[in-house]
Copies of this chain bind each other. A is one copy, B any other.
Amino acid sequence: MTPFRPHMQAALDEARAAARRGEVPVGAVLVGPDGQVLARAGNRTREGHDPTAHAEIRVIRDACATLGTERLPGCDLYVTLEPCAMCAAAIAAARIARLYYGADDPKSGGVRHGARVFAHPQAHHVPEVYDGIAAREAEDLLRDFFRGLRDN
């Protein structure tokens, strides 16, 4: 097992918890430079009445509030799905060092798809990006969730 697997498993746990709340199942974990988990969260846009409450935004806000900073250099973000343009730009603004994500998101992604936020000089910081981590589990969660919506 590669060292990042436990953090992605925790992100998948957050995604499953989001699904149980009726939220799109995406989860994220933010890890400090020393390997300590700073924040973990799932999507909460519906329950929170907040279109910005994606898992990535929630862990960035939580970790920054805890540390009393607006930047998280040296930190790693694990998220089960390719971030959208909003989250990718927030990752750049927070100066997160490394982004590990699971499933690709051709429909709404903003890293490898669409706006490709990190590919422009207006992103003042570009993290290292590692994709495809536990992608199958993340995809299964999303597929089951949307199938359940259609069947209800």
Contact = CB atoms under 8 A, between A and B. Distances in A.
Interface of A: 45-46, 48-52, 57, 60-61, 64-65, 67-71, 84-90, 93-94, 107-110, 113-117, 119-124
A89 B85 contact: yes
A115 B117 contact: yes
A101 to B, nearest CB: 15
B124 A115 contact: no
Most buried by B among A70, A113, A119, A121: A70
A51 B94 contact: yes
B85 A70 contact: no
A72 to B, nearest CB: 8
A33 to B, nearest CB: 17
A150 to B, nearest CB: 18
Contact of A117 (B49, B50, B85): B85
A120 B115 contact: yes
